[in-house]
Amino acid sequence: MLTPTRHQLILNVLKEKNVVKINELVELTNASESTIRRDLSQLEEEKFLKRIHGGASRLQGKLQEPSMTEKSSKNIQDKKKIAQYASSIVEEGDCIYLDAGSTVTEMIPFLPAKDIVVVTNGLMHVEALLARNITTFLLGGYAKAKTKAIVGRGAIASLENYRFDHCFLGVNGIHPEAGYTTPDQEEAMIKQMALEKSRVTHILADQTKFSEMFFAKITDLNHAAIITNELNIENIEQYKSKTTIKVVTS
């Protein structure tokens, strides 16, 4: 089978399945495993797919944005592990910023309830924070229905009034060249500003966010540390050379 034909076959399978394993492609194309690995590397360089451990996945659209309900139902156990570790960083007396992300939401049950202050743009966070008697400030601005986030000029103006010990952000994409990205430029601006107001910033992301790239850039990799669940991804050294990565294994 000619290389262009094999490449097109790989892309056709990805359109149907979103994720494909190397052994499936070997069987489908009658090519060797080393040939398929070279094919996947070339197609990734050409930005047709994303290499994952043992195979490849389809790249998401740059503007594609799942709702908070959709995000909250995915990879729940991984998110809880990441969130529990992130919460352990917070100490009594800290003022922290919680971004309107689904993994960040999972931090709330683990936060120390005594003598901390939380500022957030996440509408879904507020009830859980108040239930734990945590002092909470909600940014003003436009309430975005899909992600339950406060954005816009009002949110930016609100952020001017605060400084944080720690900032915890969710992102849609982590890429060695593009940095941290998200589909919505208004949410990107809020995340970027919160990061700038914080002494330390932590990105909470499971491994599915790596090698993804979305429309609006938040910042470069070296401006925040990453907390993730595992690193079974291709070219991990590209990330490790640019930022600190904490892998939560249990």
Q: Please, what are the domains in the chain?
A: 3-58 (1.10.10.10), 68-247 (3.40.50.1360)
85 pLDDT above the threshold of 90? yes
Arithmetic mean of pLDDT over the chain: 88
Which range has the worst mean pLDDT, 7-16, 45-54, 171-180, 222-231? Answer: 45-54
Whose tokens are 């399945």? That residue is 17
Residue ranges in 169-216 assigned as alpha helix (H): 185-196
Phi, psi of 6 (to 5 degrees): -65, -40
The pLDDT tens digits for 102-146 are 899 999 999 997 899 999 999 999 999 999 999 999 999 999 998
Which range has the worst mean pLDDT, 122-131, 207-216, 240-249? Answer: 207-216
Contact 151, 144 (CB under 8 A): yes
Overall average pLDDT of the 188-210 stretch: 94
Overall average pLDDT of the 201-226 stretch: 92
User: Which is more confident, 41 or 199?
Assistant: 199
Contact 36, 47 (CB under 8 A): no
End-to-end CA distance of the chain: 45
Overall average pLDDT of the 149-154 stretch: 94
The pTM assigned to this predicted structure is 0.75
Phi, psi of 173 (to 5 degrees): -140, 145
Distance CA 152, CA 142 (A): 6
User: Which is more confident, 9 or 193?
Assistant: 193
Which range has the worst mean pLDDT, 21-35, 111-125, 191-205? Answer: 21-35
Overall average pLDDT of the 79-105 stretch: 94
Q: Which residue type sits at 80?
A: K
Distance CA 42, CA 216 (A): 25
Alpha-carbon distances, residue 82 vs 75, 132, 200, 248 (angstroms): 11, 20, 17, 6
Contact 199, 86 (CB under 8 A): no
Distance CA 236, CA 156 (A): 34
**146: how many CB neighbours lie within 10 A of its CB?**
13
Residue 16 pLDDT class (50, 70, 90 cuts): confident
11 pLDDT above the threshold of 70? yes
Percent of the chain topping pLDDT 90: 53
The pLDDT tens digits for 49-79 are 877 778 888 776 655 555 455 554 456 788 9
